[in-house]
Structure 1
C-alpha cells in the first residue's frame, strides 16, 4: 500500500503488466508509435491517455478491461487485486469497503465481482490428462423440514482435478449423465484415467477413457491400490478441494446467490491453479486476465 499509494504509481504498474512492449491500442490493435497525451482538464484529456497512430482514437490502460469506466482510483483497484489474490480463502466486499474506504457497499461488491471475472479462465487451453478425479458438491442453505439429502434448493458444482495439476469447476442448477458426459468430453483427454465415487452419473461417460475406477464411499472405501496397473484409485484430491472451497465460501460470505456462484468458483479455481507461485506473481497473472473483459451492472437490452 505504501508502494502504490498514488494513482500514478498504480497506473504505471498496470501499464507494465498489460503492455510490457509499449502501449497497444485496444480499438484496432496497433502497436506502432502510439503516443501519450499531456493531461488537460479543459480539453478533456485525462492522465494516462494515449492516441493511436493508426485509428487516431484515444485510450487508457483501463479501456477494454474490467476497470473500464470505473470511478474507483487505480491504486485502490491494484490493492484490491492484491488482497483478493493473496488471500488464502476469500475477501468479503465489506472488508474491502472498510480497508480501501470505498463509498458504498454496492460499489465494493461490484469491484469484487469484476476482479473475480478477471480471474476467470474463460477459454482454458488443453485438456486434463493422467489421473483425473471428478466429483460434485452442492452449495446452498438448508430447507425447512427437509433432511440433509435434499438438494432441490441448492446449486451444484462439478469439479475436475488433475492430480498435481489444475482444477476446472462448472456451476449448474442440475446435472445428469448427459451433461456430465459433455463436460468430461470437453475438458478431459481420452487417454486419461478417471477416478470417481460410486455415483451413476459417471458410469456411461467413463467408458470413453483409458480407465474408469470408482471408490465406494457408502462402504467407507476412500482409496485403494490397484496392483495390476500400479495406480492409486481415490477422489481425495477433489474432495479436499471441495472442503477448502466450502470453508472459504461459508466462512467468508455465508451465502452466495446461484446467479454469481460461478464467479466465486472461478476465484477458488484460480487460486488452486496458481498455488505454487508467490502472491505477487499470482496478482500479476490475475491482472493480465482482465484483458478483453467487461462486466456490467445490468445486461444491455437487445436492439
Structure 2
C-alpha cells in the first residue's frame, strides 16, 4: 500500500515549537503581530503612536492621542485568563498536533493547571475553532449524512427522543477524483426539511452536486442543488462511492470522541466538539501551520466568560464570536 502523505507529514515538532514559542516574550510578540500587523493602533481612536510599558509583568500600550491604555489580551479570547501566553500556545499545539481529540483532563496533566482552568482553556479554544469554521461553504460534490451524538439516560426518553442526544449533519466535499477535501459538522434543531434547508443555505453552494441517503428531510436539497439519493441499505450503501467519504469521516469522528472522552454534555457542547474535529480535518494538509492558525482565530475571537461558555446551547445560525 502506498504511503499516505497527509498522514505521514512531519508537522510541527515539539523542539521546533519550543524554539518558536518557548518563552513568554516570543508568545507576546506573536500575539502583538497578529493584533496589529502594521504596528499598534489605538482601539479607541485608531492613533498609531503609543507608549509601551509593563504593569505587573503585563505589557500595555498608552495612546499618545487619547491616553487610552490597551493590553495585549484586551478584546481577545484570552482577555479574562490569568494563564501565561506560553500555556495558551502549548495548549494550541497539543490540540492541533494530536491525531485525535485531547480531553480537558489530559490538558490538565500536560499543562500543570487545575481541571477547571483546563476545561475553560479547551472550551475557549474550541469556540475559536467554531468561529473559524463558520464561514466555510462546501462546493463541487458534497456527500451528506445525519447522525446523533450522545446516548440514552437511565430513566430518560428512549431512542431518538432522548434528551441526551443531539442531532447533527456531517458533510464532506470531494474533488473530481472523489478525494475528500473539506468537511462540515453542525448540530441542527432536528431532521426536518426546514432545518435542513436552512443548514444547506449556510453550508453548501448552489452549484454543488449533493448526494445523500434516503432521509426525507434531505429532499430539501432538491430546491437549490442537483440532488442524488443513494439507494441501498446497511454496508452496501455506506461503501457506495457517492457516500464513502462521509461515512469514513463520521466513523472517525465517533471513534475519536469515544477514545478521548468518557462523557460530556452532548446536548450543550456538541457544537464545539464537532467544530474541533472539523477544524483539524480541514487543515490536515498543512500541520505546521495549525498553531499560528489557531492563535489567529483566538486573537480575533471576542472574550468568553465561563458563564457564557456554560450557557444555553447554540445552533450554527446563532453561534458567533
Q: Normalising by the residue count of structure 2, what TM-score does the alignment of the two structures yield?
A: 0.79
C-alpha contact 1:196 1:215 (8 A) present in aligned 2: no
Say which of 223, 226, 230 aligns to 1:214: 230
C-alpha contact 1:119 1:270 (8 A) present in aligned 2: yes
Structure 1 residue 240 corresponds to structure 2 residue 248: yes
Structure 1 residue 110 corresponds to structure 2 residue 120: yes
CA distance in 2 between counterparts of 1:204 and 1:114 reads 34
Alignment of 1:139-178 (within 5 A): 139-143=149-153, 150-153=159-162, 154-163=165-174, 164-178=180-194
C-alpha contact 1:17 1:284 (8 A) present in aligned 2: no
Q: How much has 1:239 moved relative to structure 2?
A: 1.3
Q: 1:97 aligns to what SS in structure 2?
A: helix
Q: Structure 1 residues 109, 146: closer, same or farther in 2, change over 3 A?
A: closer
Say which of 194, 208, 214 aligns to 1:192: 208
Partner of 1:286: 294
C-alpha contact 1:197 1:217 (8 A) present in aligned 2: no
C-alpha contact 1:7 1:75 (8 A) present in aligned 2: yes
- Name the structure with the higher helix share: 2
Partner of 2:196: 180
CA distance in 1 between counterparts of 2:173 and 2:143 reads 6
Per-residue CA shift, 1:132-182, capped at 9, x if unaligned?
A: 1111111112455999x9222211121222114322221135321210111
CA distance in 1 between counterparts of 2:55 and 2:132 reads 38
C-alpha contact 1:181 1:205 (8 A) present in aligned 2: yes
Say which of 21, 32, 39 aligns to 2:38: 21
Partner of 1:256: 264
Q: Normalising by the residue count of structure 1, what TM-score does the alignment of the two structures yield?
A: 0.84
Q: Tell me the matched-pair count.
A: 284
Range with bigger deviation, 117-126 or 194-203: 117-126
Partner of 1:120: 130
Partner of 1:227: none
Q: Structure 1 residues 30, 165: closer, same or farther in 2, change over 3 A?
A: farther
Q: How much has 1:266 moved relative to structure 2?
A: 1.0
